[in-house]
């Protein structure tokens, strides 16, 4: 089982006296996993550790059962699109992919084929013959992504991969993540673009100041925050009547009626009891409910709850 | 993943690193000063040839004087400046340059042993150094006595000329191998390789004035003992020079190769422990 996971066992990394991450225990299953946290929270440190670019001060890391201090084995299964916006000098986009594939030991024909396929996957075929130095930031980001996927890795690690991409490229890139995640591979993404992370992630890992503060499916992480009231938006024909019934309950914290008098924004500490009560109200009073939706299950809300105001992203 | 092609994997990986590095290193704008260093002595001997052609061949000096002049040019310009600083520029940048440009992680994310990466990079640097410095040495030697015409041809083919040329080329190659290994190591370990380079430079240039035991802890001592023509040290320096028994050629050659191999092996093993730290 552990051979299909990326695991961190009590991993710490210090840069001199500066904390990178501390006592991290993680077990990342296949699918899309997002690392979320403000600058300096340890996202890049975590990624550099799992790709073997740095070593832990203590603890043990395994990527599909492989220790990162064996790059000759690890790098066949892992692809990393790092945050650094730098490229070897004098190479075209095609040469950039081709030469690093040659270092894998593949033949000329194999490298050519994989280079063309990877560039096509990120819509960079037309610009393949141009020097990377002449690319726009979005193109450089895409060619880095192509380089990370060219050898068809099982684990794709992406540090802020959506930076600099236009909306079309962003949508294409997200589609690629989804496809890879659905194929049973690991896609581990860090990003500040939270609503996109929210949409694509199977699970999130929330980091703050080098510590993992929560991990799991977004809904599950949200449920862990028991002391924080959950916001639920109900659109119905009688929000005032609903609010009056709800305020008799001890788990209700707040209720706001929207300006159009059709919506009620509630804050409750027990969502399960709220939903039971809502069913009862519908049965008793014939309340017509148009929609019910959690209003704060996104990553940003969860993050704000867990980290507090100081953890602004 | 299919791995086609000829030869074992490690050889193909070294070859790939070698070819990419050659592509990046040869004719790079950043290395213009290294090309100038290599072209400098050739330019001097070309000017000498043209100057002597305009005068009358052999009017100013004898052929033997040019032989000594080349020996001095080789020992004081090539060994102490051209090859030393050229190798510093080429080899110390192989790792340090990638760190400064934030591109080393691309190499570290390839499934190859980092020892092989170090060897591939060294071989690429060595190829460039050999072409530049051995080529420059040969060109300068063949040019310096050209103005003597048939006498120079006779000196080359029927005298000691070709043998001397072979020795100089061998010494230039050994210097590239030795200094290359030193500076590759410096580039891996030092954020600013200029500091160890300055230390090595001072040590190498103090060599004639050091006691015999200390003389032997240097590259230049062995290289000088392989040079075919001795250069007399002019006064007042001559009184400060401490003589030491010359090292037999085979010891000098194999000693230098062995030391270079040890340094390269240490660099290769250390590369495995190196982390990506771009100072951010």
The confidence score (pLDDT) of residue A193 equals 63
A41: domain CATH number?
Answer: 3.40.50.300
In this complex, the residue of A48, A90, A102 whose CB is nearest that of residue B16 is A102
The confidence score (pLDDT) of residue B2 equals 42
From chain B, the residues in CB contact with A106 under 8 A are: 1-5
Higher pLDDT, A224 or B188: B188
**What is the strand order of the sheet A31-36 is part of?**
A78-81, A155-159, A186-190, A31-36, A203-208, A211-216
Higher pLDDT, B269 or A276: B269
From chain A, the residues in CB contact with B23 under 8 A are: 90-91, 95, 99
Nearest to A174 by CA among A144, A142, A215: A142
Judge contact between A296 and A231, C-beta under 8 A.
Answer: yes
The confidence score (pLDDT) of residue A78 equals 97
In this structure, is residue B9 part of a structural domain?
no
Residues A83 and A232 in one domain: no
Based on the structure, what is the number of domains in chain A? 2
Are residues A53 and B109, on separate chains, in Cβ contact within 8 Å? yes
Which of A28-42, A216-230, A268-282 is least confident? A216-230
Nearest CA in chain A to B117: A103
The confidence score (pLDDT) of residue B242 equals 67
**B270 touches A: beta carbon within 8 Å:** no
Judge contact between A150 and A101, C-beta under 8 A.
Answer: yes
Give A188-231 pLDDT, tens digit per residue.
999 766 666 777 888 989 888 899 988 888 777 766 665 667 78
Average model confidence (pLDDT) across chain A: 87
Are residues B3 and A105, on separate chains, in Cβ contact within 8 Å? yes
Nearest to A282 by CA among A253, A246, A252: A246
Cβ neighbours for A186, distance < 8 A, ≥ 6 positions apart: A6, A28, A29, A30, A31, A33, A154, A155, A156
Higher pLDDT, A64 or B212: A64
Judge contact between A187 and A156, C-beta under 8 A.
Answer: yes
Residue A276 pLDDT greater than 50, yes or no: yes
Q: Average pLDDT of B25-35? A: 83
**B61 touches A: beta carbon within 8 Å:** no
Residues A298 and A254 in one domain: yes
In this structure, is residue B238 part of a structural domain?
yes
The confidence score (pLDDT) of residue B224 equals 85
Nearest to B193 by CA among B207, B179, B178, B206: B179
Are residues A106 and B5, on separate chains, in Cβ contact within 8 Å? yes
Q: Average pLDDT of B136-165? A: 90
Judge contact between A107 and B4, C-beta under 8 A.
Answer: yes
Read off the pLDDT band of B207 (50, 70, 90): confident
Radius of gyration of chain A (CA): 23
Which of A199, A216, A233 terminates a domain? The answer is: A216
Q: What percent of chain B has pLDDT over 70?
A: 91
Based on the structure, what is the number of domains in chain B? 1
Residue A252 pLDDT greater than 60, yes or no: yes
Residue A98 pLDDT greater than 90, yes or no: yes
Give B232-244 pLDDT, tens digit per residue.
776 666 666 667 6
The confidence score (pLDDT) of residue A120 equals 96
The confidence score (pLDDT) of residue A81 equals 96
Residues A251 and A273 in one domain: yes
Note down the domain range covering A256: 224-311
Residues A229 and A198 in one domain: no
**A144 touches B: beta carbon within 8 Å:** no
Residue A74 pLDDT greater than 60, yes or no: yes
Residues A80 and A154 in one domain: yes
Residues A162 and A194 in one domain: yes
In this structure, is residue B234 part of a structural domain?
yes
- CA dihedral A220→A19→B277→B101, nearest 10 degrees, is 70
The confidence score (pLDDT) of residue A9 equals 95
Average model confidence (pLDDT) across chain B: 87
Chain A closest-CA separation from residue B199 CA (Å):
28
**B111 touches A: beta carbon within 8 Å:** yes
Note down the domain range covering B127: 17-31+69-134+163-273
The confidence score (pLDDT) of residue A231 equals 83
Which of A159, A184, A216 terminates a domain? The answer is: A216
In this structure, is residue B3 part of a structural domain?
no
Read off the pLDDT band of A312 (50, 70, 90): very low
User: Among all chains, which residue has been given the structure tokens 């075209």?
Assistant: A92
Nearest CA in chain A to B106: A100
Judge contact between A232 and A293, C-beta under 8 A.
Answer: yes
A303: domain CATH number?
Answer: 3.30.70.100
Residue A310 pLDDT greater than 60, yes or no: no
Are residues A74 and B278, on separate chains, in Cβ contact within 8 Å? no
Judge contact between A186 and A3, C-beta under 8 A.
Answer: no
The confidence score (pLDDT) of residue A226 equals 59
Cβ neighbours for A154, distance < 8 A, ≥ 6 positions apart: A64, A77, A78, A185, A186
Are residues B20 and A88, on separate chains, in Cβ contact within 8 Å? yes
Which of A181-195, A254-268, B114-128, B230-244 is least confident? B230-244
Residues A179 and A37 in one domain: yes
């Amino acid at each position: 089982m552990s051979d299909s996971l990326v695991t961190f066992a009590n991993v710490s990394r210090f840069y001199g006296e500066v904390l990178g991450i501390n006592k991290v225990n993680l077990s990342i299953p296949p699918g899309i996993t997002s690392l979320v946290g403000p600058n300096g929270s340890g996202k890049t440190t975590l990624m550099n550790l799992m790709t073997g670019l740095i070593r832990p001060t203590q603890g043990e890391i395994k990527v599909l059962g492989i220790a990162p201090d064996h790059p000759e084995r690890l790098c066949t299964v892992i692809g990393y699109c790092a945050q650094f916006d730098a490229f070897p000098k004098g190479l075209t986009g095609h040469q950039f992919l081709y030469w690093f594939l040659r270092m894998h030991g593949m033949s000329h024909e194999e490298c050519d084929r994989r280079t063309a396929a990877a560039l096509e996957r990120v819509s960079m075929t037309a610009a393949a013959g141009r020097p990377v130095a002449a690319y726009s930031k979005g193109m450089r980001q895409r060619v880095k992504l192509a380089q990370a996927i060219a050898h068809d890795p099982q684990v794709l690690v992406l540090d802020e991969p959506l930076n600099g991409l236009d909306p079309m490229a962003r949508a294409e890139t997200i589609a690629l993540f989804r496809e890879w995640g659905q194929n049973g591979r690991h896609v581990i993404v860090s990003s500040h673009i939270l609503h996109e992370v929210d949409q694509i992630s199977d699970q999130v890992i929330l980091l703050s100041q080098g510590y993992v503060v929560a991990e799991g499916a977004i809904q599950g992480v949200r449920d862990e925050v028991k002391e924080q009231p959950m916001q639920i938006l109900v659109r119905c024909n009688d929000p005032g009547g609903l609010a009056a019934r709800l305020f008799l309950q001890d788990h209700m914290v707040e209720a706001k009626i929207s300006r159009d008098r059709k919506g009620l924004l509630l804050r409750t500490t027990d969502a399960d009891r709220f939903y039971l009560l809502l069913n009862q109200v519908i049965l008793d009073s014939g309340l017509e409910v148009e929609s019910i939706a959690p209003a704060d299950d996104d990553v940003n809300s969860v993050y704000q709850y867990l980290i507090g105001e100081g953890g602004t992203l | 993943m299919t791995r086609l092609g000829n030869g074992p994997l490690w050889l193909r990986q070294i070859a790939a690193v070698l070819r990419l590095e050659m592509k990046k290193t040869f004719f790079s704008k950043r290395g213009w000063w290294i090309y100038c260093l290599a072209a400098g002595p050739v330019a001097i001997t070309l000017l000498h040839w043209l100057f002597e052609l305009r005068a009358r061949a052999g009017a100013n000096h004898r052929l033997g004087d040019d032989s000594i002049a080349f020996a001095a040019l080789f020992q004081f310009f090539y060994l102490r400046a051209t090859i030393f600083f050229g190798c510093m520029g080429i080899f110390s940048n192989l790792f340090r340059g990638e760190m400064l440009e934030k591109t080393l992680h691309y190499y570290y994310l390839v499934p190859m042993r980092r020892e092989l990466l170090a060897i591939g990079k060294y071989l690429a640097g060595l190829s460039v150094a050999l072409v530049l410095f051995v080529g420059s040495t040969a060109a300068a030697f063949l040019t310096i006595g050209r103005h003597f015409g048939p006498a120079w041809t006779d000196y080359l083919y029927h005298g000691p000329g070709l043998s001397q040329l072979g020795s100089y080329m061998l010494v230039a190659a050994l210097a590239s191998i030795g200094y290359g290994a030193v500076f590759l190591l410096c580039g891996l370990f030092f954020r600013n390789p200029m500091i160890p380079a300055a230390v090595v430079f001072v040590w190498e240039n103090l060599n004639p004035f050091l006691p015999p035991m200390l003389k032997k802890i240097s590259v230049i001592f062995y290289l000088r003992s392989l040079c075919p023509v001795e250069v007399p040290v002019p006064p007042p320096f001559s009184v400060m020079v401490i003589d030491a028994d010359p090292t037999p050629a085979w010891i000098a050659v194999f000693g230098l190769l062995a030391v270079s191999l040890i340094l390269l092996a240490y660099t290769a093993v250390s590369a495995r422990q190196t982390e990506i730290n771009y100072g951010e």
